[in-house]
Chains A and B, each alone.
Chain A
Amino acid sequence: MAGMTIDQAQTRAKSRSETTERLKEVLIERLMLPLETNEIADDSPLFGSGLGLDSVDALEIVVAVEGEFNVSITDEDMQAFRSINTIVDFIELKQEGSK
């Protein structure tokens, strides 16, 4: 049988949803977005037509993520920040690497 068991899937979903929710809360607060967390899709593009953020906001995202999740971000890392989900991927990767 392929895939996870239901227990594994629920554990994974819980962990991911907690990080995603926290990230949305931080971004809403720091960027003063007129949105609630359930008004942002996890794959929403950060720039352009999605959340409509700009390069100034990108710097604020870096400061917010570094401060809240205790990870360091290089200019190169930032290039992968295309959506809420890709930032969460980055946070998980960094946190996994530091264990």
Chain B
Amino acid sequence: MNNTYQLVRQSAALFDFSADGRFFLQGAGAEEAVNAIIAADLETTRELKALNTLLLAEDGSITAILWVLKSEDGIWVLCDAKQRSIVGSALNAAALNHNVECQDRTESTTCLVIIGPAAQEIAMTAAGEDIIGIPYLGLEPNTQTNSLLCRLGYTGEFEYRFITERARASELENQLLTAGSSQGLERGDLSVLPLLMLEMRSLDQNTHIPSGISPIEAGLHWMVSFKKDAFPGREAIMTRKISPVEKALILILDGDVAPTTDVPVLIENNAVGRCVYLAQSPTLGKTIALAYVQADLAWVGVIFEVTGQDARAVSAPLFITKTVTAGR
């Protein structure tokens, strides 16, 4: 775990996201079909740009976190492996309504991802120097790797995703590992990603977002276009934003706590929230937690009690990454 963590924070690691859902909609009406079900507005997104948004239930709770990629020939929708079925159903229904085809390309494609401060340099070696021109949230077809190359990211480090045909998975993996050999690029352990994400206040749906939580409680307002006229869950979100019951907070604990979940957050021995995730941050050398706390107390600087220790609510991101520092 620590090796992957250090690789991502100091150099780069290669991850296989192939199990995640990948859907493709093509033809007139594809954009409208996707836009009908997502919480952000795809109409305001330019071609060759990505949108990080949500699929919501009618009660406003988060069904899936999505990346929507507006490519030259259609719309890609990426989601976590666990949400593949429900996202596929929603997309298929929307596609049917707009008379377009929705293809589940999860099995026919692969997705390899390089994450870390050296990821850009490695991607340039593998895919050509021109890729330095891809902005954050940008994408373009890349002939050198025969893939769709996207620059996304949740960890505060460079992240380049390569999507290509499944039959080319080994070839692409070798190409990337060779390109990154001088930077020590190795395969990474996916289980470290929730920690790397939380340090930057990105949330992993399966680790950090309990059932029933909306983007308002999770602090993911920026994934929602509040001015958009209609999307599933809109009415509930507009109500929840006025008076949220609880809010997500990052806490830093005074001492070490074994990684765990469902730990109460206390003030004077009364539960005012719960930690859904605790882990040791190697960069900070401290235990960090993601807690959902009653909204009137969920503010930075409040010190709670968690497992008998002081737990201070702090701002995010928790630190400035090497990628950001080097970019100045």
Q: Which of B226, B308, B316 has the most CB of A within 10 A?
A: B316
Question: What is the CA–CA distance of A75 and B50 in the complex, to the nearest angstrom?
Answer: 30
Assess whether A83 is in contact with B317, with CB atoms less than 8 Å apart. yes
Assess whether A13 is in contact with B241, with CB atoms less than 8 Å apart. no
Question: What is the CA–CA distance of A80 and B315 in the complex, to the nearest angstrom?
Answer: 11
- Give the number of residues in A that approach B within 8 Å (Cβ atoms): 39
Decide yes or no whether B326 CB sits under 8 A from chain A: no
- Given the known interface contacts A1-B268, A9-B302, A89-B315, the answer about A38 and B222 at a Cβ–Cβ threshold of 8 Å is no
Question: What is the CA–CA distance of A42 and B309 in the complex, to the nearest angstrom?
Answer: 25
- Given the known interface contacts A10-B296, A49-B136, the answer about A3 and B267 at a Cβ–Cβ threshold of 8 Å is yes
How many pairs, one residue from A and one from B, have CB atoms within 8 Å of each other in the complex? 108
| List of B residues within 8 angstroms of A34 by Cβ | 227
- Given the known interface contacts A10-B296, A35-B226, the answer about A43 and B316 at a Cβ–Cβ threshold of 8 Å is yes
| List of A residues within 8 angstroms of B250 by Cβ | 43
Assess whether A50 is in contact with B222, with CB atoms less than 8 Å apart. yes
Assess whether A45 is in contact with B222, with CB atoms less than 8 Å apart. yes
Assess whether A41 is in contact with B137, with CB atoms less than 8 Å apart. no
Main SS of the interface on chain B?
Answer: loop
Please provide the chain B residues from 262 to 317 with a CB less than 8 Å away from any CB of chain A in the complex: 266-270, 296-305, 308-311, 315-317
Decide yes or no whether B220 CB sits under 8 A from chain A: yes
| List of B residues within 8 angstroms of A38 by Cβ | 241-242
Of all chain A residues, which has the CB nearest B265? A3
Residue from B52, B241, B300, B303 in contact with A4 in the complex, judged by beta carbons closer than 8 Å: B303
Assess whether A1 is in contact with B219, with CB atoms less than 8 Å apart. no
Of all chain A residues, which has the CB nearest B227? A34
Question: What is the CA–CA distance of A44 and B91 in the complex, to the nearest angstrom?
Answer: 28
Decide yes or no whether A97 CB sits under 8 A from chain B: no
Decide yes or no whether B254 CB sits under 8 A from chain A: yes
Assess whether B268 is in contact with A43, with CB atoms less than 8 Å apart. no
Assess whether B305 is in contact with A1, with CB atoms less than 8 Å apart. yes
Question: What is the CA–CA distance of A79 and B328 in the complex, to the nearest angstrom?
Answer: 9
Listed in ascending order, the chain A residues whose CB lies under 8 Å from chain B are 1-6, 8-10, 12-13, 15-17, 20, 34-36, 38-45, 48-51, 79-80, 82-83, 85-86, 88-89, 92
Listed in ascending order, the chain B residues whose CB lies under 8 Å from chain A are 52, 136-137, 201, 219-222, 224, 226-227, 241-242, 250, 254, 266-270, 296-305, 308-311, 315-317, 320, 328
A-B contact pairs, 7 of them (CB 8 A): A3-B310, A6-B267, A9-B302, A36-B226, A39-B241, A43-B219, A92-B301
